[in-house]
Structure 1
């Protein structure tokens, strides 16, 4: 029997990493498309409803055919738990995210999502899903890496410095690209309000990441679980949107950036990406998943510079270096921690074998 090529083996062993990098590219597109649609006048609450509706319609048939042989019974208690996870995770975080976008920019939204790893770590520690031992190097790496990640994101977003001129030479002519008319904040108060709302949205998202772990254990059909969460979130968001937006014209979709943004966010982001993220959480845990969030900021800035002639600065590059360094610090710490746990488990199993053999001889 022929052995598999080394490239195939390498790809197979790094699936969670590849999935998370792909997810960050998708999230970068979400920030750009979402801000464009909202800047063009689409109601953010209506946006969330259509986004979740598109995701449910796309995922439902896939979940039925792909996971029809999986036995995953649903009890009333589990349905209620999934409903609450959808409410506090998806519905709350998405609606708050798009409210905050009215007061901030796409770059700021991408930057502040980098608080998610730290919030997730804190939640996971409080719930005893993660542990940090500062007496060991991997614990120190996780703490310092988290601090560096957030610091790098803040430097990337707010410290400018000299512009990097070579990016302008490769940027597309802005007259060829339909640039969204981004509304800047009218006052410092609006910016602070948007920042606080965005922080609340990130906290709700971190809570969703952490809450996935016990739910997946009870309901391992990941595609069906994602579909149910999107369905519940669609209903919850619809109730929210109807209560806030009574104008029927706000619900009309036409062949423009509104429809494109809703389809992209619903099918690609909410549908495919959420399912991939649930899979990655099951494989590597919520903190591992959250730690890839900073890449979306870098990708968003690069695409913005090419598409909309946004200038990158030296401060952005320095922030990116800090950000990536912090990310790999945390991943190194988690890797060492995982190896340590594996060695302990092996030692325990060997000890059990020895004890059994001794008792047998006696």
Structure 2
């Protein structure tokens, strides 16, 4: 009994760290499922359209209750939300899912860890956040950011042999679909595209701080942004994907991946 109580106390004290580890597992699942769906032929542009559409529908009830005490949205704010959605949701999502077709799920999961570092660097550059190199926490932030970015670049440029040992023969096709890339050039291109998508996402995170101060109804803001991103992504997908069969969504890995990624 005392062991359980001690465990609960330790868990309570370290709740933020446990939550962060859990989130990393969730993002890893997103990389694996989206890689599997796109490797099986789903268009990344269509994937983003369905994801933003489902996200808009899922958030709409929360936005309704969140907007009861909110002031009306001005035209100026709607224009800002449209541009923020274009940069932070549409651009980052399309870059991420297009690039994952040329990279591995492992790199996709690892590259997500660069978002805090990129966000920190951008926040310092535009003077949203200050830093002191005379204090240990300031030095730790700088070193952590550098190590994170160096690790991502190393994963992008260094490619070793595929590991298929200890995998049953009937499951090897799954491993190949999650690790297969076209060539070293495509791998580097995909990695750079993914880092560009993470940069867009980091900029979106910074801009959210200014938007929320202007309009604090958070659920309503994110729902509107998802809706704008759905429209923008649909236009992009219609231009890039002319095959109508690519829009077909059945009870398979495609639907599972879209539904899972909606939660993120």
Q: 1:94 maps to which residue?
A: 93
Distance apart, 1:68 and its partner CA? 4.3
Number of aligned residue pairs: give it: 255
Q: Does the CA-based 8 Å contact 1:87-1:233 persist in structure 2?
A: yes
Equivalent residue for 1:81? 80
C-alpha displacement at 1:195, in angstroms?
1.9
Partner of 1:29: 29
How big is each residue's C-alpha offset from its partner over 1:158-196, in whole Å with a ceiling of 9 and x where there is no partner? 5979x9x9xx6xx8x574798262473333221221122
Q: What does residue range 1-362 of structure 1 map to in structure 2 within 5 Å? A: 11=12, 17=17, 19-65=19-65, 67-151=66-150, 175=170, 179=174, 181-182=177-178, 184-266=180-262, 268-269=263-264
Alpha-carbon displacement from aligned partner over 1:211-264 (angstroms, at most 9, x marks no partner): 111011112111111111111111110000001111111101111101111111
Q: Which has the larger radius of gyration?
A: 1
TM-score after normalising by structure 1: 0.63
Distance 2:179 2:141 in 1: 38
Aligned partners of 1:111 and 1:70: how far apart in 2?
40
Output the CA distance in 1 between the equivalents of 2:119 and 2:71: 28
* Aligned counterparts of 1:86 and 1:19: Cα–Cα separation in 2: 27
Structure 1: which 5+ runs fail to align?
270-362
Contact 1:133 1:140 in 2 (8 A): yes
State the alpha-carbon separation in 1 of the partners of residues 172 and 220 from structure 2: 38
Compare 234-243 and 124-133 and name the one that shifted more. Answer: 124-133
What secondary structure is seen at the aligned counterpart in 2 of 1:179?
Answer: helix
Tell me by how many angstroms 1:107 deviates. 0.9
Aligned residue for 2:112, secondary structure, equals: helix
